[in-house]
């Protein structure tokens, strides 16, 4: 697609080297060629851009063979525009002066033309060919027929199109037919594989038999050598037992001699230890007796001193208690005399009041007091007589 820019009402086009540009104004051709760059006015310009590079057109279509089997053809056609002027005159390659995009779909028209033409020639050759032949030689036959048909097609040169190459990649039947065609070859391959498996098993069995025979011969030889080994081991064991017995006898004799010497040494050591222990026990007994005598003497002296001190303390305590009792008796006598002297000096009414007070202090608690009229009358009479006196 051409690159178009705007400047003050003008347009500038810059084409690619693989794009042939034709610029008309008022029916006059002003610019014609690939990779052009020029200024133009959008209102008066008619521009066409034709690609001149090689293009690949992939196509896939169905066809039917002579035995009415459906096959799929995959092919690719390489083409280019050989005469851009003719192509621009036959197809709409005009571009928008503002965006540079094609106004139509010229490449799709070319693709449709090439696809239908190639499909027509492929169908012609496959319709006369059986499926088995088509699968073997159909790719080359279809390629040659399509290439020849496109080269002889008069409409392509009239449109300015040149076919560069034709390639047929695959020619496939339907999946079910393809599986059916593969079955005989698969079965033959399976038979070859089974035969190879059987031969391999036969060779393996023969080798296993040889290996078993070799193993049996080896076992026989091993048994013979094992018998020799057992005999030699018995001889060695007897010899070893005799040597062990002699060594044990020597060892027992040495051990007995050593035990006797150790017993004698232990007995002498025990005697010495017993004598030392007896002497030590005697010394300890004597020391303990002397210590006991000293402790008894000290305890007796201490007991005498404690008895004397306790007696002196008891005498002093008795004297102090007697003096205290005498002082307490004297104080109580003086207090009683003073009490009697005070009460002897007061009048009878005061004594009565004191007696009532003491009596009230020692009486139990009285919550309520009921005074009868007789008692109240007697009290009032006594009161009145006392006042008159």
pLDDT (tens digit per residue) in 312-324? 887 788 788 888 8
**pLDDT given at position 387:** 54
Q: How confident is the model at residue 383 (pLDDT cuts 50, 70, 90)?
A: low
What percent of the chain stands above pLDDT 90?
A: 3
- Residue 293: what pLDDT? 77
Q: What is the pLDDT of residue 77?
A: 92
Average pLDDT estimate for 45-67: 88
Alpha-carbon Rg of the chain, whole angstroms?
76
- Helix/strand/coil percentages in the chain, nearest 5: 65, 20, 15
The C-alpha torsion from 129 through 132 and 137 to 139, rounded to 10°, is: 80
Most confidently modeled of 45-54, 182-191, 268-277? 45-54
pLDDT for 386 beyond 70: no
**Token reading at 180:** 């059916």
CB 96 within 8 A of CB 103: yes
d(CA 194, CA 202): 12
pLDDT-derived band at 182, boundaries 50, 70, 90:
low
The answer to whether 146 touches 122, Cβ cutoff 8 Å, is: yes
Residue 3 falls in which region: left (phi positive, over 0), alpha (psi -120 to 50) or beta? beta
Tokens of 203: 């060779």
The H helix count followed by the E strand count for the chain is 7, 9
Q: Classify burial at 172, counting beta carbons within 10 Å of its beta carbon; exposed 0-12, middle 13-18, buried 19 or more.
A: middle
* Packed helices 175-345 and 131-152: angle between N→C axes, nearest 10 degrees: 100
Specify whether the CB–CB gap between 12 and 23 falls below 8 A.
no
Distance CA 328, CA 330 (A): 5
CA-nearest of 3, 131, 16 to 70 is 131
Predicted confidence (pLDDT) at residue 205 exceeds the cutoff of 60: yes
Phi, psi of 24 (to 5 degrees): -115, 145
CA distance 116 to 251: 117
71 contact partners, CB below 8 Å, separation of at least 6: 62, 63, 64, 65, 126, 131, 134, 138, 171, 172, 173, 174
Q: What are the C-alpha distances in Å from 128 to residues 68, 163, 235?
A: 10, 25, 99
């Amino acid at each position: 697609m051409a690159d178009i820019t705007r400047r003050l009402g003008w347009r500038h086009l810059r084409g690619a080297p693989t794009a042939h540009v034709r610029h008309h104004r008022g029916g006059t051709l002003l610019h014609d060629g690939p990779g052009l760059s020029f200024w133009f006015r959008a209102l008066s310009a008619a521009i066409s851009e034709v690609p001149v590079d090689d293009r690949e057109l992939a196509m896939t279509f169905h066809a039917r063979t002579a035995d009415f089997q459906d096959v799929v053809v995959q092919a690719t056609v390489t083409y280019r525009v050989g005469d851009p002027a003719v192509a621009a005159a036959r197809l709409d390659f005009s571009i928008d002066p503002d965006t540079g995009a094609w106004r139509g779909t010229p490449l799709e028209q070319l693709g449709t033309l090439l696809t239908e033409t190639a499909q027509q020639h492929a169908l012609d050759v496959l319709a006369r060919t059986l499926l088995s032949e088509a699968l073997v030689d159909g790719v080359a036959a279809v390629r040659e027929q399509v290439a020849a048909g496109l080269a002889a097609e008069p409409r392509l040169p009239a449109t300015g199109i040149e076919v560069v190459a034709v390639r047929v990649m695959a020619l496939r039947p339907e999946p079910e037919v393809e599986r059916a065609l593969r079955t005989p070859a698969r079965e033959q391959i399976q038979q070859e594989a089974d035969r190879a498996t059987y031969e391999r098993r036969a060779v393996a069995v023969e080798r296993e038999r040889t290996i078993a025979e070799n193993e049996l011969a080896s076992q026989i030889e091993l048994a013979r050598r094992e018998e020799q080994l057992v005999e030699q081991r018995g001889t060695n064991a007897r010899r070893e037992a005799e040597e062990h017995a002699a060594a044990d006898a020597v060892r027992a004799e040495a051990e007995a001699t050593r035990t006797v010497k150790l017993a004698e040494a232990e007995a002498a050591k025990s005697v010495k230890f017993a004598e030392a222990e007896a002497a030590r026990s005697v010394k300890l007994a004597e020391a303990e007796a002397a210590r006991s005598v000293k402790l008894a003497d000290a305890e007796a002296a201490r007991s005498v001193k404690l008895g004397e001190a306790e007696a002196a303390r008891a005498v002093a305590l008795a004297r102090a208690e007697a003096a205290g009792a005498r002082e307490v008796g004297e104080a109580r006598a003086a207090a009683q005399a003073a009490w009697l002297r005070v009460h002897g000096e007061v009048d009878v009414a005061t004594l009565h009041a004191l007696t009532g007070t003491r009596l009230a202090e020692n009486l139990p608690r009285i919550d309520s007091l009921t005074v009868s009229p007789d008692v109240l009358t007697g009290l009032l009479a006594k009161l009145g007589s006392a006042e008159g006196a």
